[in-house]
Structure 1
Amino acid sequence: MTKSLQVGIIGASVDSGWAKESHVPAVQKLARLELAAVATSRQSTADAAAKAFGAKAAYGNAADLIRDPDVDLVSVCIRVPNHRELVLGAIAAGKHVYCEWPLGRNITETEEMAAAAHTAGVHAAIGLQTRMNPVAHRARDLVASGAIGRLLSARLYSGTAAFSPKIAAADSYLENAENGATLVSIHGGHALDLAIAVLGRLEDVIALATTQYPEIQVGDEAARQARLIPDHLLVQARLTGGGALSIEVAGGRPPEATQFRLEVVGDKGNLALDGGAPRGFPTGRLRLALNGEPQHVDDGETGAMPDTAANVAGIYAALRDDIALGTSTAPDFTHAVRLARLVDDVLSSAQTGTRKATADWPVQ
């Protein structure tokens, strides 16, 4: 019997947060994974999280979790500006790593972490969790098999409540592009990655990024401030084989308008992926229809998970099996580098109005 992988989650707060909603239930419910440790910014909150989540150890300092000899896999679930130090520390300690997307604040940090993981020979997965969604895999297979014929065009819409005109004080760091966590990098990155996963490689892109809410309120402060980042993104792309793709990523949408839809048209049929969640489509489930007929897709061991945890659990399951079998099925840090380059090209296109093409974007 294969030994259970011991997981340590950095950022697992009992009060709120993405780790509580997704990473913790994913680790708790998957076979051959155990929650070995949690770390937060204070020992008291770490103790509370360990008690609530059933972790064996609690740390008020993430470095102590990384040094724990009982931890096999370190999950980094905190703000992007803090990723580099913790990821490099975990790699140096010989741990496998699961890090949330975006991996780094910029391409330099992202490349540094990818190179470190490669040199150390550890498994390092990036949190592009929809890549492992069974519905997305089925849609990809249908397109590749010719079920809808030659791919003519595709249209993707992704709405999110994030980047609204009123933001929580804790989210103010998202308004600074230097922190690497913007609508374009987070939500745009996930949308681009899913489109490529289903449809295949992009030949080139041209983009328009706009700020639809030029003034924002931060927390309970009465004074408003200027928004200095885009909260809306449009991308047009050419797919390998000549198909056309359009992507719209819209921030600041009310919860009831945070739907997701990917429509794919071929010369012999069409398919559609539907979903959506206030945090964005990667935090919820997807549904598939072929020529208007709903398709049943077996979710496997993630079927009984909460919606917020299902896609994250897909990454954990792939990473667990990769570590046990020596395979490489989970999206890794090299993939993160390629997607980060694509996101940079999208931003550059939006700023210059020029079409961008490169040979080193993600492949299907």
Structure 2
Amino acid sequence: MTDTLRVGIVGLSAERGWAAHAHVPAIRAVEGIELVGGCASSPESSAKAAVAHGLDRVYDTAEELAGSDDVDLVVITVKVSRHRELVEAALTAGKAVLCEWPLGNGLSEAQELASRATDAGVPHFVGLQVLSAPFIAHLGDVVRSGEIGEILSTSILASGSTWGPKIASDQIYLLDPAEGATMLTIPMGHTLAGVEAVLGNVTSVQATTAVRRPTAVESPDGRVHERGTPDQIAVMGTLGSGIPMVVHYRGGMSRATNFHWEINGTLGDIVVTGVHGHMQMGMVRIAIASRDDQKLHPLPTPGEYERVHGLPETTPAYVVAHSYEQLVHGLHAGTKTLPDFADGVRHHRLLSAIEHAAATGTLTPVEPPARNGLHS
């Protein structure tokens, strides 16, 4: 690897998609890392993406990108159902790999990929970006400082946005459980990672899921599609220190509350609000009332938590850029700064426990981490 980490993105389109809107500006905002190429769904789309993003290198396939001597890190930003084959291509080429969350299409796939990555002996990371968000680091420090005393409970009410009555043509796959991209795995999964980073690991869950809107209308052509994944998910859980947790995600958007997270302590309360339930994108406001405070007041994130400058906090690239900054720093320092595939497996276990609890109606334990992770 050169002094500058050279990145190739699998799933880079010319205009649309998470890679174009979040990863590209994030990489370009971080020192010590460079976007050198990408590939899309076809050679023609790859060529268009290269032109749109000002890239000299065009790769027709993911295998060609992974095998290139000009690429140090392969970033996977495609549908979950293709994660395994594309991660394996990067590992076979002996390249470091960053795979967007979810790591695999279910727990079994994630375990397979973690085993393969360990055997390959290359750096591997999973894109739980919320763990790199400055506001999450600050919240964790505030909670651990005792500012609001002993934590009594925590609760979240959130909207999953996409899983509502209407759906865009390029998101129809989100209705298919076989694709692995659900309201549980994406917005709720990312948010639960943030909760654990601040308050500790979830140790047991009870859950109810439901499909309350059995169909979704495709926009703009009006075709009706059956919904195969829940649009209502309600979870009651317990954190390792005995803290009760309640989380309710609703598909679509609410005219009232779209993201509200409370942390209640013996000496005060913290409230995190946002425009939707995708906490991994940031765009939140935080307020606190502690000790003698009678009302909530803003709790801004201090500047020392911000490690990347030049990106507005209101853009999806802001939190992703902090992930890349930590990745570069960790590789150069030889330290663990981002969740790896083993951490991804542990988080898949939590989501699997929620699914089991909903299917069986039972209190379901969450298997503890096999080793110390970023927030074990």
| Superposition TM-score tier, normalisation by shorter sequence | over 0.9
User: Which stretch shifts more, 330-339 or 166-175?
Assistant: 166-175
Over residues 20-70 of structure 1, what are the superposed CA-to-partner deviations in whole Å (9 max), with x where a residue is unaligned?
110000011111111111111222322222222232311121111111111
Over residues 245-284 of structure 1, what are the superposed CA-to-partner deviations in whole Å (9 max), with x where a residue is unaligned?
1111121116x7673222101101111222234x822223
Q: Is the 8 A contact 1:143 1:198 kept in 2?
A: yes
Tell me whether 1:266 sits opposite 2:257 in the alignment: no
Q: Is the 8 A contact 1:123 1:319 kept in 2?
A: no
Q: What are the equivalent positions in structure 2 for 1:303-318 lying under 5 Å apart?
A: 303-306=309-312, 307-318=315-326
The residue identity in structure 2 corresponding to 1:274 is: T
User: Which stretch shifts more, 185-194 or 129-138?
Assistant: 185-194
Q: CA deviation at 1:91?
A: 1.3
The residue identity in structure 2 corresponding to 1:355 is: L
Distance 2:323 2:3 in 1: 19
1:301 maps to which of 298, 307, 321: 307
1:358 maps to which of 362, 366, 370: 366
Distance 1:120 1:325 in 2: 21
User: Which stretch shifts more, 50-59 or 205-214?
Assistant: 50-59
Distance 2:333 2:165 in 1: 47
Q: CA deviation at 1:310?
A: 1.0
Tell me the SS of whatever aligns to 2:267. coil
Tell me the SS of whatever aligns to 1:301. coil
The residue identity in structure 1 corresponding to 2:323 is: I
Distance 1:203 1:42 in 2: 44
Q: What are the equivalent positions in structure 2 for 1:104-123 lying under 5 Å apart?
A: 104-123=104-123
Q: Is the 8 A contact 1:35 1:54 kept in 2?
A: no
- Consecutive unaligned residues of structure 1, counting only runs of 5 or more, are none
Q: What TM-score do the two structures reach when normalised by structure 1? A: 0.93
User: Which stretch shifts more, 163-172 or 327-336?
Assistant: 163-172
Q: What are the equivalent positions in structure 2 for 1:98-109 lying under 5 Å apart?
A: 98-109=98-109
Distance 1:226 1:44 in 2: 32
Summarize the Cα distance change of 1:264–1:185 in structure 2 as closer, same or farther, 3 Å threshold: same
Q: Is the 8 A contact 2:128 2:339 kept in 1?
A: yes
Q: CA deviation at 1:312?
A: 1.1
Corresponding position of 1:280: 278
Corresponding position of 1:227: 227
Let me know the Cα RMSD of the aligned residues: 1.9
Q: CA deviation at 1:158?
A: 2.4
Corresponding position of 1:145: 145
- Consecutive unaligned residues of structure 2, counting only runs of 5 or more, are 290-295
Q: CA deviation at 1:221?
A: 5.6
Q: CA deviation at 1:304?
A: 2.5
Q: Is the 8 A contact 1:157 1:247 kept in 2?
A: yes
User: Which stretch shifts more, 90-99 or 116-125?
Assistant: 116-125
Summarize the Cα distance change of 1:257–1:23 in structure 2 as closer, same or farther, 3 Å threshold: farther
Over residues 267-306 of structure 1, what are the superposed CA-to-partner deviations in whole Å (9 max), with x where a residue is unaligned?
01111222234x8222233332221222232252334224
Summarize the Cα distance change of 1:258–1:27 in structure 2 as closer, same or farther, 3 Å threshold: farther
Q: What TM-score do the two structures reach when normalised by structure 2? A: 0.90
Tell me whether 1:339 sits opposite 2:343 in the alignment: no
Tell me whether 1:204 sits opposite 2:212 in the alignment: no
Q: Is the 8 A contact 1:29 1:305 kept in 2?
A: yes
Tell me the SS of whatever aligns to 2:149. coil
User: Which stretch shifts more, 221-230 or 140-149?
Assistant: 221-230
Corresponding position of 1:50: 50
The residue identity in structure 2 corresponding to 1:318 is: Q
Q: What are the equivalent positions in structure 2 for 1:161-240 lying under 5 Å apart?
A: 161-219=161-219, 222=222, 224-240=224-240
Distance 1:214 1:248 in 2: 19
Summarize the Cα distance change of 1:303–1:261 in structure 2 as closer, same or farther, 3 Å threshold: farther
Distance 2:48 2:42 in 1: 10
Tell me whether 1:319 sits opposite 2:318 in the alignment: no
Over residues 205-261 of structure 1, what are the superposed CA-to-partner deviations in whole Å (9 max), with x where a residue is unaligned?
10111112112223556553432210121111112222211111121116x767322
The residue identity in structure 1 corresponding to 2:267 is: K
User: Which stretch shifts more, 163-172 or 96-105?
Assistant: 163-172
Q: Is the 8 A contact 2:100 2:127 kept in 1?
A: yes
Distance 1:304 1:94 in 2: 33
Q: How many residues matched?
A: 361
Distance 1:285 1:252 in 2: 18
Tell me the SS of whatever aligns to 2:316. helix
The residue identity in structure 2 corresponding to 1:357 is: P
Summarize the Cα distance change of 1:258–1:4 in structure 2 as closer, same or farther, 3 Å threshold: farther
Distance 1:258 1:26 in 2: 29
Corresponding position of 1:24: 24
Q: What are the equivalent positions in structure 2 for 1:57-96 lying under 5 Å apart?
A: 57-96=57-96
Q: Give % identity.
A: 34
User: Which stretch shifts more, 3-12 or 154-163?
Assistant: 154-163
Q: Is the 8 A contact 1:159 1:257 kept in 2?
A: no
Tell me the SS of whatever aligns to 1:296. coil
Q: Is the 8 A contact 1:283 1:308 kept in 2?
A: yes
Over residues 124-158 of structure 1, what are the superposed CA-to-partner deviations in whole Å (9 max), with x where a residue is unaligned?
11111111111111111111221111110111122
Distance 1:149 1:134 in 2: 22
Distance 2:257 2:102 in 1: 21
Q: Is the 8 A contact 2:191 2:278 kept in 1?
A: no
Q: CA deviation at 1:168?
A: 2.3
